[in-house]
Amino acid sequence: MAVQEREVLITVKAYPTPSRRYGETVCCAGIDVKTREWIRLYPIPFRDLDESKKFAKYTVLRVRCEKAKRDQRAESYKVDTDSIEIVRVLDTRKNGWRDREKIVVPTVLADSCAITACLREGRSLATVKPSRVSFSWEKAPLEKQAQREACYAQLSFFDRVKKSIEQIPFRFYYFFTCAQAADCTGHKLPIVDWELGQSYRSWRHSYRDEATLLQKIRERWLVRMCSPDGNVFFYLGNMQRFQHQFMVLGVFYPPK
């Protein structure tokens, strides 16, 4: 497939992971501002990007990309990182929230269980409105940490001189049902948003007691972001190898 130029509102930045093929990368995804279609951009070696190309979520990027050959998911594109251009940022001031909603809300899967619809229609990315949300955590399996360390050990010397990003020792989950979907029996999905990992890494210096730290994370990611009085949406995505397994890639919680 030919190289395309796309303008994408970045809504998802997953926590960085080491890859034997690409080094340390960040999986990013967003919504094409013209077509309102989901697109996954990979690989992005975020910490190695020029400062002028580094971007936050809800930044509109102009990029050159082509359909990924090694990833059969319809939304996956290989990005030319040299082509990354920041067009604008939709911040939370003035009309920023409304501008975000204009792009995000049309992608919401309504009137059916989001994961059932994704599996039926071959989608790997979706926006869902959740209800009856709860939040939990568990210790991360040691074997996952060992696999991560093994990947870092195989990186080139140039990559290894950069300090490896810390593995978070917990897995965090949302349990929810899809709003207005009578066929939804509920989902317990892991959360892989970069912001959650950053919350853990930064707040642990303020809250030395682990139990207090975890409760503070719960307060932000459940009580504040998923308040029943608010307007909350989850971004969902699946895994390349296990496409029936979905994760919460991010949370969109505009004010009502």
Instruction: Read off the pLDDT of residues 16-33 as tens digits, 9 standing for 90 and up.
Output: 765 555 455 677 899 999
Examine residue 100 and state whether it is found in any structural domain, yes or no: no
The region of weakest confidence among 146-155, 185-194, 233-242 is 146-155
Pair (241, 165) in one structural domain: yes
Pair (231, 113) in one structural domain: yes
pLDDT of res. 17: 65
**Nearest-CA neighbor of 239 among 72, 7, 19, 103?**
72
Overall number of domains in the chain: 2
Pair (194, 245) in one structural domain: yes
Examine residue 145 and state whether it is found in any structural domain, yes or no: yes
**Nearest-CA neighbor of 17 among 58, 50, 45, 56?**
45
**Structural domain span for residue 25:** 4-89
The beta strands (E) that lie in the chain are given as 4-13, 17-19, 23-32, 38-44, 59-67, 76-79, 85-89, 125-128, 130-139, 170-178, 187-190, 233-238, 246-252
C-alpha radius of gyration, the chain, whole number = 18
Residue scoring higher pLDDT (164 or 74): 74
For position 51, which CATH number holds? 2.40.50
pLDDT of res. 68: 87
Parallel, antiparallel, or unpaired for β 170-178 and 187-190? Answer: antiparallel
Examine residue 102 and state whether it is found in any structural domain, yes or no: no
Examine residue 97 and state whether it is found in any structural domain, yes or no: no
Pair (132, 223) in one structural domain: yes
Pair (115, 155) in one structural domain: yes
Query: Mean pLDDT, to the nearest integer, of 219-245?
Result: 89
Mean pLDDT for all residues in the chain? 85
SS3 of 248, please? strand
Last residue of a domain, one of 29, 54, 89: 89
Residue scoring higher pLDDT (47 or 24): 47
